[in-house]
């Protein structure tokens, strides 16, 4: 039977994930991967999870294993409302929705908002997983320009003035893939622009809590609460396998997100939500987060120092104050994918940056480097190897 004939029209248009194809080599023995985007396993609070499991079973008993409301487990929604207050976001517990990772929110957003052909504005480059979540709903992407400080407000203004945009998708803090953060002054400009155009912004903030230097910056959500769907996650500060993400959206959108989530998975795992509720409300997160930061800070510093020491003239890179990624730009015309294939022969992998653009004619000379998975010595060695390959 020709099952290909059974695929929905939109499925056929989704295409294979090219990046997955080129990263297949990453699992070869001996390969050092600066390509991934996943937290270090040592960052998971395994001992705490044992205690939390006992607490949850004791405190909620069968309630932790029963079906629950689509909106989320109430004690977790309460804990997250307090957590968001610390980030200057004023949210009642009843306004917070829990999802299966922030990816779960992104999918629901696509389902609720995108009609085929709708224009969705994204940064160039942007988070690939968001494009994967939105693409099945067949939007037309409109690219917005960025520089070392992230989205350029003038580019947002131009895009909004040029025609109807369904929503803008942005990762303002320690962006994936660039690590860049939009400074407060720009955030104010962006907030003013979206208010002025009555536009909707989806602010994805998975990395904001991973700050190694400097001070927290107000989320755009706090500057334009009515115009922003704020999305965050416990994947980087607890454990990604638990799949706990959440969002705070304007009321008219929130109610539809709940309806579509009913169809997606009824609700996120009650047990995992209960663990997360106790992790936050019991003060374990406050205690554990500094340990995650102390684990990543030296890794990031090792990578920055190695780039300073080894990378040749003509290359530049971002110097983020947190997050999980650095972004390297080579001289114009330098082909990072060609470098990739040479580097994997020497057992070092990274992601060529062009894959983070909606058009792969862009970003040829860029790459994304991740530093959370390797130790400092390996990071230094692999940056040295990369620079040798570049110079050869």
Ligand X SMILES: Cc1ncc(COP(=O)(O)O)c(C=O)c1O
How far is it, in rounded angstroms, from Cα 25 to Cα 143? 31
Rounded to the nearest whole angstrom, what is the least distance from the CB of residue 103 to ligand X in the complex? 3
Cis peptide before 177 (omega within 30 of 0): yes
Give 210 or 390: the residue with its C-beta nearer to ligand X: 210
Give 43 or 103: the residue with its C-beta nearer to ligand X: 103
Q: Where are the beta strands (DSSP E) in the chain?
A: 32-33, 96-100, 119-123, 140-144, 146-147, 150-151, 167-170, 201-204, 228-233, 244-248, 316-317, 325-329, 348-349, 351-352, 366-370
- Strand 348-349 relative to strand 244-248, pairing: unpaired
How far is it, in rounded angstroms, from Cα 296 to Cα 323? 9
Residue nearest to ligand X (CB): 101
Rounded to the nearest whole angstrom, what is the least distance from the CB of residue 362 to ligand X in the complex? 19
Rounded to the nearest whole angstrom, what is the least distance from the CB of residue 2 to ligand X in the complex? 34
Give the count of beta carbons closer than 10 Å to the beta carbon of residue 8: 9
How far is it, in rounded angstroms, from Cα 263 to Cα 368? 35
Question: How long, in residues, is the chain?
Answer: 392
Angle subtended at Cα 104 by Cα 101 and Cα 106, rounded to the nearest 5 degrees: 115
Contacts of 71 (CB under 8 A, 6+ apart): 77, 94, 96, 97, 98, 258, 267
How far is it, in rounded angstroms, from Cα 247 to Cα 104? 10
Give 231 or 386: the residue with its C-beta nearer to ligand X: 231
Rounded to the nearest whole angstrom, what is the least distance from the CB of residue 325 to ligand X in the complex? 9
Rounded to the nearest whole angstrom, what is the least distance from the CB of residue 239 to ligand X in the complex? 10
Give 98 or 200: the residue with its C-beta nearer to ligand X: 98
Q: Which residues bind ligand X (CB under 6 A)?
A: 37, 101-103, 127, 129, 171, 176, 204, 206, 233, 235, 240, 245
Contacts of 304 (CB under 8 A, 6+ apart): 317, 319, 326
Rounded to the nearest whole angstrom, what is the least distance from the CB of residue 313 to ligand X in the complex? 31
Rounded to the nearest whole angstrom, what is the least distance from the CB of residue 240 to ligand X in the complex? 5
Give 245 or 353: the residue with its C-beta nearer to ligand X: 245
Rounded to the nearest whole angstrom, what is the least distance from the CB of residue 277 to ligand X in the complex? 17
**Long-range contact pairs involving 47-51 (C-beta distance under 8 Å, separation at least 24):** 48/279, 48/284, 48/288, 49/239, 49/275
How far is it, in rounded angstroms, from Cα 38 to Cα 165? 32
Rounded to the nearest whole angstrom, what is the least distance from the CB of residue 207 to ligand X in the complex? 7
Give 330 or 353: the residue with its C-beta nearer to ligand X: 353
Give 52 or 276: the residue with its C-beta nearer to ligand X: 276
Give 280 or 390: the residue with its C-beta nearer to ligand X: 280
Contact (CB, 8 A) for 151 and 198: no
Give 133 or 223: the residue with its C-beta nearer to ligand X: 133
């Amino acid at each position: 039977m020709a099952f290909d004939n059974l695929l929905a029209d939109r499925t056929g248009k989704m295409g294979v994930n090219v990046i997955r194809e080129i990263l297949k080599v990453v699992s070869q023995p001996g390969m050092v991967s600066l390509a991934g985007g996943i937290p270090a396993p040592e960052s998971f609070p395994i001992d705490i999870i044992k205690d939390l499991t006992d607490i949850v079973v004791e405190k909620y008993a069968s309630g932790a294993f029963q079906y629950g409301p689509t909106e989320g487990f109430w004690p977790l929604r309460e804990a997250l409302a307090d957590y968001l207050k610390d980030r200057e976001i004023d949210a009642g517990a009843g306004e917070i929705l829990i999802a299966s990772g922030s990816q779960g929110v992104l999918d629901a957003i696509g389902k609720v908002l995108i009609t085929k052909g709708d224009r969705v504005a994204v940064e160039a480059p942007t988070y690939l997983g968001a494009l994967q979540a939105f693409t099945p709903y067949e939007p037309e992407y409109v690219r917005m320009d960025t520089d070392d400080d992230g989205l350029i407000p003038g580019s947002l203004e131009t895009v909004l003035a040029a025609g109807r945009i369904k929503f803008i998708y942005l990762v303002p803090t320690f962006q994936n893939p660039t690590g860049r953060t939009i400074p407060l002054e720009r955030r104010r400009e962006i907030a003013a622009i979206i208010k002025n155009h009555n536009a909707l912004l989806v602010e994805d903030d998975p990395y904001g809590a991973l700050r190694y230097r400097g001070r927290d910056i107000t989320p755009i959500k706090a500057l334009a609460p009515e115009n922003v769907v704020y999305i965050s996650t416990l994947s980087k500060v607890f454990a990604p396998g638990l799949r706990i993400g959440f969002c705070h959206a304007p009321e008219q959108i929130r109610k539809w997100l709940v309806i579509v989530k009913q169809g997606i998975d009824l609700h996120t795992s009650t047990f995992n939500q209960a663990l997360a509720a106790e992790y936050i409300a019991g003060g374990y997160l406050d205690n554990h987060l500094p340990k995650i930061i102390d684990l990543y800070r030296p890794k990031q510093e090792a990578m920055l120092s190695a780039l300073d020491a080894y990378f040749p003239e003509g290359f530049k890179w971002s110097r983020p104050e947190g997050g999980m990624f650095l972004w390297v730009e080579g001289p114009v015309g330098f082909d990072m994918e060609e470098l990739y294939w040479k580097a994997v022969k020497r057992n070092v992998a990274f992601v060529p940056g062009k894959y983070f653009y909606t058009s792969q004619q862009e970003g040829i000379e860029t790459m994304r480097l991740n530093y959370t998975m390797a130790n400092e010595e390996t990071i230094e060695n692999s940056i040295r190897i990369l620079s040798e390959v570049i110079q050869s």
